[in-house]
Amino acid sequence: MNPCPKNIIIRLKGKKKTEFRKAVAKRALEFCEVCGGHAPRLWGGYFNSMWCGHIHHIKSVGSGGGDTMGENGTKNNAQWLCASCHRAKHDGKR
């Protein structure tokens, strides 16, 4: 029996979730991975949802997607997007 099944969903909380967001933003150099616009992790030292970048899960967490960046054999399930592109990704999906 395989002690580590492939279908484990990684869901991070608290400090690990914050570190995950930082890592995705750093990978994207704080630019939207769709339109290329500047999407900083923090705006003026604090989070402002209109101006800051957002994590987008390619496969939603509710559908079984996890907090993964494609490291250590995991599939990439995170994109760094500006607020406009993140909103557009979700339009019509709810």
pLDDT digits (tens, 9 = 90+) for 6-40: 556 778 888 998 899 999 999 999 999 999 999 99
Q: pLDDT at position 33, please? A: 95
One-letter amino acid of 57:
H
10 Å CB burial of residue 68 (0-12, 13-18, 19+) is buried
Mean pLDDT of 47-68: 87
What domains are there in the chain, each with its CATH number?
14-90 (3.40.1800)
Mean pLDDT of 35-60: 88
Q: pLDDT at position 75, please? A: 85
In residues, how long is the chain? 94
pLDDT per residue as tens digits for the range 78-94: 999 999 999 999 885 54
pLDDT above 90 covers what percent of the chain? 46
With b for 16 or more beta-carbon neighbours within 10 A and e for fewer, the 19-33 pattern comes to ebbeebbebbebbbb
- DSSP, collapsed to helix, strand or coil, labels residue 29 as coil
Torsion angle of C-alpha atoms 74, 72, 25, 63, degrees rounded to 10: 20
